[in-house]
């Protein structure tokens, strides 16, 4: 069985459209190295093939958006909306990420080694997000399903209006959003957290985290909330 040749695409010489077209037409198992992204937007979006993509440098808006299959590694920082609406697969950012990381993501795993800005995991619908550093305010807003692991601190209004997603935080929480409360860490939560940390290549102990989720008080109409 022969070795797979890595395909090198230099964005300083070709545009993002050329890169994304190559990724969409690739054969399963192919490997790509992307050079000189220089903060370009929409890098490696909508991948539907089992390919491996390594981006050497910083990217702009919506990198790896609508990701469905394969792995994308960004060796640098990412702008707003990285892995937005991800379906499955894995996206890994070695640096920091701006706001709305993993927004509306349905499945797969997003790993951020650094910190994220505001609204990480908003409207999450089933994906897993592991953040090695801190997260900004309103992280997990209206998150419906999935898990968010925060190895650092969380900003204000964590989990505001959360549904059935679970949030694990190792550091401090500035404040909790509406209907979000701290919940007990049962054995099954320690087990799933250990699996998530291992999948993200983290070494923290699950015993160091606290769990947050919905108090389920917003599920039903309350006449006291009428205007």
List pLDDT tens digits, range 164-211.
999 999 999 999 999 999 999 999 999 999 999 999 999 999 999 999
* 22-43 tens-digit pLDDT: 999 999 999 999 999 999 999 9
Q: Which long-range contacts (CB under 8 A, 24 or more apart) does 160-167 make?
A: 161/218, 162/212, 162/213, 162/214, 163/214, 164/213, 164/214, 165/121, 165/124, 165/140, 165/213, 166/211, 166/212, 166/213, 167/139, 167/140, 167/143, 167/211, 167/212, 167/213
Q: What is the mean pLDDT of the chain?
A: 95
**Residue 219 — pLDDT band, cuts 50, 70, 90?**
confident
CATH number of 6-217: 2.160.20.60
**Residue 1 — pLDDT band, cuts 50, 70, 90?**
very low
DSSP strand pairing (145-150 vs 125-131): parallel
pTM for this structure? 0.95
Q: Which residues contact 219 (CB under 8 A, 6 or more apart)?
A: none
| Alpha-carbon gap, residue 78 to 74, rounded angstroms | 8
The token duo for 45 is 């979006």
Share of the chain above pLDDT 70, in %: 95
**Residue 75 — pLDDT band, cuts 50, 70, 90?**
very high
| Alpha-carbon gap, residue 129 to 7, rounded angstroms | 28
| Alpha-carbon gap, residue 109 to 98, rounded angstroms | 17
Domain ranges of the chain: 6-217
- The pLDDT of residue 224 is above 90: no
* 38-52 tens-digit pLDDT: 999 999 999 999 999
Share of the chain above pLDDT 90, in %: 93
């Amino acid at each position: 069985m022969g070795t797979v040749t890595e395909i090198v695409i230099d964005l300083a010489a070709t545009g993002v459209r050329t890169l994304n077209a190559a990724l969409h037409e690739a054969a399963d198992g192919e490997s790509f190295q992307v050079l000189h992204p220089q903060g370009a937007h929409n890098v490696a979006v909508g991948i539907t093939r089992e390919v491996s993509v390594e981006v050497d440098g910083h990217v702009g808006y919506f990198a790896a958006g609508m990701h469905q299959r394969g792995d994308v590694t960004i060796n640098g920082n990412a702008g707003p909306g990285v892995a937005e609406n991800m379906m499955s697969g894995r996206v890994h950012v070695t640096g920091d990420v701006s706001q709305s990381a993993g927004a509306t993501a349905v499945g797969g795993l997003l790993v951020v080694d650094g910190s994220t800005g505001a609204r990480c995991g908003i409207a999450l619908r089933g994906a897993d997000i592991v953040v090695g550093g801190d997260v900004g305010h309103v992280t997990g807003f209206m998150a419906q399903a999935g898990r968010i692991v925060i190895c650092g601190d969380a900003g204000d209004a964590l989990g505001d209006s959360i549904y059935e997603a679970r949030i694990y935080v190792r550091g401090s929480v500035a404040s909790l959003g509406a209907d979000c409360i701290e919940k007990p860490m049962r054995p099954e939560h320690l087990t799933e957290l250990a699996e998530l940390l291992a999948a993200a290549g983290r070494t923290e102990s699950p015993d160091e985290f606290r769990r947050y989720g919905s108090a389920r008080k917003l599920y039903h109409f309350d006449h006291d909330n009428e205007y």
